[in-house]
Amino acid sequence: MDLLERFFSRGLKLHHLRVLVMLGQWGQVRLVAQKLGVTQPAVSRQLAELEEGLGLDVVRRVSNGLVFTEAGQILLGRAREVMFQLEQARQELGSMSAGLRGEITIGAVPSVMQSLATPLLTLLQERAPGVSINLLSETSDKLYTSLVNRTLHVLFSRAVPPQFADPAVAGELLYEDPLVIICSRTHPLAHKQHLLPQDLDRQPWVLPPTESPAFEALNTWMQENSLSQGPGSVRTTSREVYRSMLAGGTRLGMMSLGAALAPEITADFAVLALPGARFLPSVWMFHTRTEATSAVRAVVECAREAARGMA
């Protein structure tokens, strides 16, 4: 048994990994010692034990702190995974003894948030009242990054991310609900008979940001029909701003068909029946497999049930 194997089998302790992760976060022995409530020599001693056991330098001292060596970066990444998994285990064991508790961050693109949030949160309140929910409405690209960085637990989107090829990301098709073009009932196009795509040329819009799949899908359709946006168009991710701008009566917008047909929406807005003007019909759910805690599983199950009610 060589030195490295012997250390991993018998010498490596949890406190070594904890110190390593905290050094990666804070960058200075002094700050790590403060956070742990121990002396600086105690932290330095644990670091020295780690380097001696590995037979490798893990960090290199610089004027304002520490930087990780190549070996240190490798070990730091694995140490973070271990500490993360242990924290997940702690939360799950706590959930077993105290019922479902914790805090979950759910992200969704605005068009999905509008339709799914209420039925999903209603079910979660019934089944997991001890779980606190943070809702984040953003474009798909930003939400995917948050999911991979583990600042987001569950993601609902109309596009399949490149990360879906990653075995650590679990995804499933929830339901079908296409985006359609809408306008206020006071808009001149709301009551026009035999509407054609050309009737939308140079009209002002309220749209999601240009990097969103919804914008890209609409833009492709407009290009195919030689249409352009008119002056006064607005891009936003805020549902409140979106509704307010549409209600003004001069702009066109997009909304999921399910939301657009709701009684409280049809009273004020009309769906424009146009050939080929249904976009991104599939709504997907994604989460990382390594974060499948009891609370996350509750969100997944409630989302599936909510989706069945929307089908």
Angle at alpha carbon of residue 232, lines to 231 and 236, rounded to 5°: 130
* 19 HSE (CA, 13 A, CB side): 26
Q: Rounded to an integer, what distance in angstroms lies between the CA atom of residue 311 and that of residue 309?
A: 6
Closest CA to 108 of 131, 135, 133, 134: 135
Q: Coil, strand, or helix at residue 155?
A: strand
Q: pLDDT tens across 54-87, in order?
A: 899 999 988 777 899 999 999 999 999 898 888 8
Quote the tokens at residue 34.
Answer: 């403060």
Fold of 3-94: Arc Repressor Mutant, subunit A (1.10.10)
- Do residues 265 and 183 lie in contact, with contact meaning Cβ atoms separated by under 8 Å? no
Asked if pLDDT for residue 98 goes beyond 60, the answer is no
For the stretch 139-197, pLDDT in tens is 888 898 888 888 899 999 998 877 667 777 889 999 999 999 999 999 999 989 889 99
Is domain 101-177+282-310 in CATH 1.10.420.10, yes or no?
Answer: no
| The pLDDT value given to residue 291 | 67
Which fold does the domain 179-279 belong to in CATH?
D-Maltodextrin-Binding Protein; domain 2 (3.40.190)
101-177+282-310 and 179-279, same CATH topology: yes
Check: CB of residue 136 under 8 Å from CB of residue 122: no
Please report, for the chain, the start and end positions of each structural domain, with discontinuous segments joined by +.
3-94, 101-177+282-310, 179-279
Position 18 scores a pLDDT of 92
Q: E strands, the chain, where? A: 59-62, 65-68, 102-108, 131-137, 154-157, 169-176, 179-184, 206-207, 234-235, 252-256, 269-271, 278-279, 282-288
% of the chain with per-residue pLDDT over 70: 95
**Structure confidence by residue, pLDDT tens digits, 223-265:** 999 999 999 999 988 888 888 889 888 999 999 999 999 898 9
Are the CB atoms for 284 and 160 separated by under 8 Å?
Answer: yes
- For 42-62, what is each residue's pLDDT tens digit? 999 999 999 999 899 999 988
Quote the pLDDT of residue 184: 95
